[in-house]
Structure 1
Protein backbone atom coordinates (compact mmCIF):
# COMPACT_ATOMS: atom_id res chain seq x y z
CA UNK A 1 0.00 0.00 0.00
CA UNK A 2 1.31 3.45 -0.89
CA UNK A 3 0.52 6.42 1.35
CA UNK A 4 1.32 9.80 -0.20
CA UNK A 5 1.77 12.65 2.25
CA UNK A 6 1.80 16.34 1.32
CA UNK A 7 2.41 19.66 3.02
CA UNK A 8 3.54 19.82 6.62
CA UNK A 9 3.76 16.77 8.90
CA UNK A 10 3.80 18.42 12.28
CA UNK A 11 1.91 18.66 15.57
CA UNK A 12 -1.16 20.12 13.83
CA UNK A 13 -1.71 16.91 11.83
CA UNK A 14 -0.25 14.41 14.28
CA UNK A 15 -3.55 12.62 14.94
CA UNK A 16 -4.46 12.44 11.23
CA UNK A 17 -1.03 11.04 10.40
CA UNK A 18 -1.31 8.42 13.13
CA UNK A 19 -4.78 7.37 11.96
CA UNK A 20 -3.75 7.12 8.31
CA UNK A 21 -0.56 5.17 8.99
CA UNK A 22 -2.25 2.89 11.52
CA UNK A 23 -4.97 2.04 9.00
CA UNK A 24 -2.39 1.36 6.29
CA UNK A 25 -0.31 -0.89 8.57
CA UNK A 26 -3.40 -2.89 9.49
CA UNK A 27 -4.43 -3.23 5.83
CA UNK A 28 -1.11 -4.21 4.26
CA UNK A 29 2.13 -5.94 5.26
CA UNK A 30 4.11 -3.35 3.27
CA UNK A 31 3.38 0.35 3.58
CA UNK A 32 5.33 2.74 1.36
CA UNK A 33 5.16 6.33 2.59
CA UNK A 34 5.89 8.75 -0.26
CA UNK A 35 7.31 12.00 1.10
CA UNK A 36 7.98 13.79 -2.21
CA UNK A 37 5.31 16.44 -1.53
CA UNK A 38 6.15 16.96 2.16
CA UNK A 39 7.59 20.43 2.79
CA UNK A 40 8.16 20.16 6.54
CA UNK A 41 8.61 17.31 8.99
CA UNK A 42 9.01 17.89 12.72
CA UNK A 43 9.42 15.52 15.65
CA UNK A 44 5.67 14.75 15.62
CA UNK A 45 5.93 13.53 12.04
CA UNK A 46 9.07 11.53 12.80
CA UNK A 47 7.34 10.01 15.82
CA UNK A 48 4.34 9.02 13.69
CA UNK A 49 6.60 7.23 11.22
CA UNK A 50 8.46 5.39 13.98
CA UNK A 51 5.23 4.32 15.72
CA UNK A 52 3.93 2.98 12.39
CA UNK A 53 7.24 1.15 11.91
CA UNK A 54 6.94 -0.55 15.30
CA UNK A 55 3.30 -1.46 14.66
CA UNK A 56 4.15 -2.93 11.28
CA UNK A 57 7.05 -4.93 12.71
CA UNK A 58 4.82 -6.32 15.47
CA UNK A 59 2.48 -7.57 12.72
CA UNK A 60 5.31 -8.99 10.61
CA UNK A 61 5.19 -6.08 8.16
CA UNK A 62 7.28 -3.12 7.13
CA UNK A 63 6.99 0.63 6.65
CA UNK A 64 9.30 2.25 4.09
CA UNK A 65 9.72 5.93 3.26
CA UNK A 66 10.58 7.04 -0.26
CA UNK A 67 11.31 10.32 -2.07
CA UNK A 68 12.20 12.61 0.84
CA UNK A 69 13.80 15.85 -0.36
CA UNK A 70 15.44 18.94 1.10
CA UNK A 71 14.92 19.60 4.79
CA UNK A 72 12.70 16.52 5.13
CA UNK A 73 15.54 14.29 3.90
CA UNK A 74 17.92 16.06 6.29
CA UNK A 75 15.65 15.46 9.28
CA UNK A 76 15.33 11.78 8.40
CA UNK A 77 19.11 11.47 8.01
CA UNK A 78 19.96 13.31 11.24
CA UNK A 79 17.48 11.27 13.29
CA UNK A 80 18.50 7.94 11.76
CA UNK A 81 15.00 7.35 10.45
CA UNK A 82 16.25 7.35 6.84
CA UNK A 83 18.36 4.30 7.59
CA UNK A 84 15.60 2.65 9.65
CA UNK A 85 12.82 3.17 7.11
CA UNK A 86 14.71 3.51 3.84
CA UNK A 87 14.18 1.05 1.01
CA UNK A 88 15.89 -2.27 1.64
CA UNK A 89 18.76 -3.40 -0.54
CA UNK A 90 18.45 -6.91 -1.95
CA UNK A 91 21.28 -9.42 -1.52
CA UNK A 92 22.27 -8.95 -5.17
CA UNK A 93 22.89 -5.26 -4.51
CA UNK A 94 19.86 -4.14 -6.46
CA UNK A 95 17.44 -1.91 -4.64
CA UNK A 96 14.35 -3.83 -3.65
CA UNK A 97 11.29 -2.67 -5.57
CA UNK A 98 8.23 -1.93 -3.52
CA UNK A 99 5.28 -1.00 -5.69
CA UNK A 100 2.07 -0.51 -3.77
Structure 2
Protein backbone atom coordinates (compact mmCIF):
# COMPACT_ATOMS: atom_id res chain seq x y z
CA UNK A 1 0.00 0.00 0.00
CA UNK A 2 1.26 3.45 -0.93
CA UNK A 3 2.15 5.73 1.96
CA UNK A 4 0.95 9.23 1.19
CA UNK A 5 -0.23 12.18 3.20
CA UNK A 6 -1.53 15.60 2.20
CA UNK A 7 -1.88 17.96 5.17
CA UNK A 8 -3.55 21.32 4.62
CA UNK A 9 -3.13 24.42 6.77
CA UNK A 10 -5.18 27.48 5.90
CA UNK A 11 -4.21 30.99 6.92
CA UNK A 12 -5.13 34.47 5.82
CA UNK A 13 -5.34 34.35 2.05
CA UNK A 14 -3.22 31.21 1.69
CA UNK A 15 -3.55 27.46 2.00
CA UNK A 16 -0.44 25.30 2.35
CA UNK A 17 -0.73 21.68 1.26
CA UNK A 18 2.21 19.70 2.64
CA UNK A 19 2.84 16.42 0.84
CA UNK A 20 4.64 13.41 2.29
CA UNK A 21 5.44 9.93 1.02
CA UNK A 22 4.68 8.62 -2.45
CA UNK A 23 2.13 10.14 -4.81
CA UNK A 24 0.98 7.71 -7.47
CA UNK A 25 -2.19 6.42 -9.11
CA UNK A 26 -3.29 4.67 -5.90
CA UNK A 27 -3.66 8.01 -4.08
CA UNK A 28 -4.73 10.22 -6.99
CA UNK A 29 -8.26 10.76 -5.65
CA UNK A 30 -6.96 11.72 -2.19
CA UNK A 31 -4.41 14.10 -3.74
CA UNK A 32 -6.99 15.65 -6.05
CA UNK A 33 -9.45 16.16 -3.18
CA UNK A 34 -6.82 17.90 -1.05
CA UNK A 35 -5.81 20.27 -3.86
CA UNK A 36 -9.40 20.99 -4.87
CA UNK A 37 -10.36 21.85 -1.29
CA UNK A 38 -7.30 24.08 -0.91
CA UNK A 39 -8.04 25.96 -4.15
CA UNK A 40 -11.60 26.56 -2.96
CA UNK A 41 -10.41 27.69 0.49
CA UNK A 42 -7.84 30.33 -0.43
CA UNK A 43 -6.80 32.61 -3.29
CA UNK A 44 -3.23 31.29 -3.09
CA UNK A 45 -2.25 27.64 -2.65
CA UNK A 46 1.30 26.65 -1.87
CA UNK A 47 2.08 22.96 -2.37
CA UNK A 48 5.07 21.99 -0.22
CA UNK A 49 6.80 18.89 -1.59
CA UNK A 50 9.64 18.81 0.95
CA UNK A 51 8.64 15.39 2.27
CA UNK A 52 7.45 13.90 -1.03
CA UNK A 53 9.70 11.02 -2.13
CA UNK A 54 7.96 9.96 -5.36
CA UNK A 55 5.63 11.51 -7.93
CA UNK A 56 4.31 9.69 -10.99
CA UNK A 57 2.47 10.96 -14.06
CA UNK A 58 -0.91 10.83 -12.32
CA UNK A 59 0.44 13.16 -9.63
CA UNK A 60 1.89 15.50 -12.24
CA UNK A 61 -1.46 15.49 -14.05
CA UNK A 62 -3.29 16.28 -10.80
CA UNK A 63 -0.96 19.22 -10.11
CA UNK A 64 -1.49 20.64 -13.60
CA UNK A 65 -5.26 20.24 -13.38
CA UNK A 66 -5.34 21.93 -9.96
CA UNK A 67 -3.22 24.77 -11.34
CA UNK A 68 -5.66 25.21 -14.24
CA UNK A 69 -8.65 25.10 -11.90
CA UNK A 70 -7.04 27.76 -9.70
CA UNK A 71 -6.36 29.97 -12.72
CA UNK A 72 -9.94 29.60 -13.93
CA UNK A 73 -11.09 30.95 -10.55
CA UNK A 74 -8.57 33.81 -10.54
CA UNK A 75 -6.48 32.02 -7.92
CA UNK A 76 -2.86 30.81 -7.84
CA UNK A 77 -1.23 27.46 -7.12
CA UNK A 78 2.54 27.11 -6.72
CA UNK A 79 4.84 24.26 -5.71
CA UNK A 80 7.99 24.59 -3.57
CA UNK A 81 10.69 22.46 -1.94
CA UNK A 82 10.74 19.58 -4.41
CA UNK A 83 13.95 17.55 -4.18
CA UNK A 84 15.51 14.45 -5.70
CA UNK A 85 13.42 12.37 -8.10
CA UNK A 86 10.35 14.58 -7.53
CA UNK A 87 12.25 17.71 -8.58
CA UNK A 88 13.65 15.82 -11.58
CA UNK A 89 10.19 14.70 -12.76
CA UNK A 90 8.85 18.24 -12.40
CA UNK A 91 11.80 19.71 -14.29
CA UNK A 92 11.76 17.28 -17.24
CA UNK A 93 8.01 17.65 -17.68
CA UNK A 94 8.16 21.46 -17.52
CA UNK A 95 5.78 21.50 -14.57
CA UNK A 96 8.45 22.99 -12.29
CA UNK A 97 8.41 26.15 -14.41
CA UNK A 98 4.62 26.18 -14.57
CA UNK A 99 4.23 25.98 -10.79
CA UNK A 100 7.27 28.01 -9.70
CA UNK A 101 6.32 30.92 -7.44
CA UNK A 102 6.96 34.40 -8.86
CA UNK A 103 10.46 35.61 -8.17
CA UNK A 104 11.95 32.12 -7.81
CA UNK A 105 14.49 31.16 -10.43
CA UNK A 106 15.83 27.83 -11.76
CA UNK A 107 15.60 24.64 -9.76
CA UNK A 108 12.46 24.01 -7.79
CA UNK A 109 12.78 24.77 -4.12
CA UNK A 110 15.77 23.16 -2.43
CA UNK A 111 16.61 20.56 -4.99
Bin for the TM-score computed over the shorter chain: 0.7 to 0.9
Written as runs of structure 1 = structure 2, the 5 A alignment for 1:75-86 is: 75-86=89-100
TM-score (structure 1 length as normaliser)? 0.88
What do the CA deviations read for 1:34-89 (whole angstroms, capped 9, x no partner)? 00000000001101100100000000011100000000000000000000001111
Q: Gaps spanning 5+ residues in structure 1: where?
A: 94-100
Match of 1:37 among 51, 57, 82: 51
Structure number with higher strand proportion? 2
Tell me how large the CA RMSD over aligned residues is. Answer: 1.3
Q: Which has the higher contact order (CA 8 A, sep 6+)?
A: 1
Question: Which aligned runs of 4 or more in structure 1 are off by greater than 3 angstroms?
Answer: none
